[in-house]
Amino acid sequence: MIFPLPVVIFTTLLPISLCATTTTVSTSQQGPVVSSDYTDSMAFRNAVLNGTNTYRRQHNATALKWNETLAEYAEKWSDRCFFNHSEGPYGENLASGYPNGTASIAAWGDERQSYSFSSGEFSKKTGHFTQLVWKATTSVGCSRTNCTAKGDGTAPGWYVICEYWPRGNVIGQFADNVQSRVKDPDPAESYRLIALEIQLLK
Ligand SMILES: *[C@@H]1O[C@H](CO)[C@@H](O)[C@H](O)[C@H]1NC(C)=O
Ligand SMILES: *[C@@H]1O[C@H](CO)[C@@H](O)[C@H](O)[C@H]1NC(C)=O
Ligand SMILES: *[C@@H]1O[C@H](CO)[C@@H](O)[C@H](O)[C@H]1NC(C)=O
Ligand SMILES: *[C@@H]1O[C@H](CO)[C@@H](O)[C@H](O)[C@H]1NC(C)=O
Ligand SMILES: *[C@@H]1O[C@H](CO)[C@@H](O)[C@H](O)[C@H]1NC(C)=O
Ligand SMILES: *[C@@H]1O[C@H](CO)[C@@H](O)[C@H](O)[C@H]1NC(C)=O
């Protein structure tokens, strides 16, 4: 049998509305300190690249490069504040309601706990993770929008969208593209490499 086109499954999970939509701030003598990478573009980009490439390294995939075309595409979609997929040409992950970019990416990466590396199949529960570490993907661009009181209410709080190219979650290619966790590299070396990647982007 011939399948001329790759079959790509989109992960359409329900909004993660159970997750905190606000950051709990502990008061110190200096007063409350609100620290979020959402409010600064470069901090957001760094958080996304660090989070993404940390998971990718742990699953033996090369680091993704930031791509502005993808980021602009993501932004057009996140700005509508609808929690659904754009169904465009890229791989696409959605998250809503997490306190910062790192936490949004980790929500996807931590789906690996439910993924069966031996069967290597798509599942709605793990589709964000498999896209995140998909070996053949080389670039990413993401956006975040404050969707509080915006859109149709399905993406409460901060809404994060990442677009991936070439896209992952191609049926029949999971075993080749989603690798099990490798021995953790030296953390100091990881941070050095991540810092270098971030430097190169500036
Ligand atoms: C980078 O991402 C990893 C994975 O989420 C996280 O554990 C780590 O704290 C992040 N590092 C920085 C500097 O944000
Ligand atoms: C990691 O990927 C490389 C290149 O694709 C491959 O040669 C190597 O065997 C992989 N290592 C592990 C532990 O899977
Ligand atoms: C960014 O991604 C788009 C879409 O895949 C591609 O056409 C473009 O060449 C990429 N830009 C860079 C600088 O790699
Ligand atoms: C996403 O949701 C919005 C609002 O419900 C709807 O107008 C739009 O058609 C949906 N888009 C897709 C691609 O399903
Ligand atoms: C991001 O949010 C997580 C979860 O609330 C928190 O543990 C972490 O410290 C935050 N990171 C930054 C950089 O604000
Ligand atoms: C997010 O939007 C809400 C509603 O407009 C606003 O009250 C809040 O201050 C915004 N948050 C940030 C960090 O800008």
Cβ neighbours of residue 12 under 8 Å, at least 6 residues apart? 84, 85, 124
pLDDT tens column, 116-141: 999 999 999 999 999 999 999 999 99
Q: What is the mean pLDDT of residues 46-52?
A: 98
Ligand 5 neighbour 105 (Cβ under 6 A): no
pLDDT at 72 over 80: yes
Q: Which residue has the tokens 């909004």?
A: 15
Cβ neighbours of residue 135 under 8 Å, at least 6 residues apart? 60, 61, 62, 176, 177, 178, 179
Q: Which protein residue's CA is at the shortest distance from atom 3 of ligand 6?
A: 148
Q: What is the mean pLDDT of residues 34-49?
A: 91
Classified as helix, coil or strand, 174 is helix
Classified as helix, coil or strand, 142 is strand
Residue 147 per-residue DSSP state: -
Contact assessment for residue 92 and residue 161, using Cβ atoms and an 8 Å cutoff: yes
Residue 144 per-residue DSSP state: E
Q: What is the mean pLDDT of residues 14-41?
A: 48
pLDDT tens column, 173-191: 999 999 999 987 666 666 6
Ligand nearest the Cα atom of residue 15:
4
User: Given the CA of residue 183, which atom of ligand 2 is nearest to it?
Assistant: 13
Please give the mean pLDDT across all residues of the chain. Answer: 83
Which pTM does this prediction carry? 0.84
C-alpha to C-alpha distance for 129 and 133, rounded to whole angstroms: 6
Q: Which residue has the tokens 């053949």?
A: 136
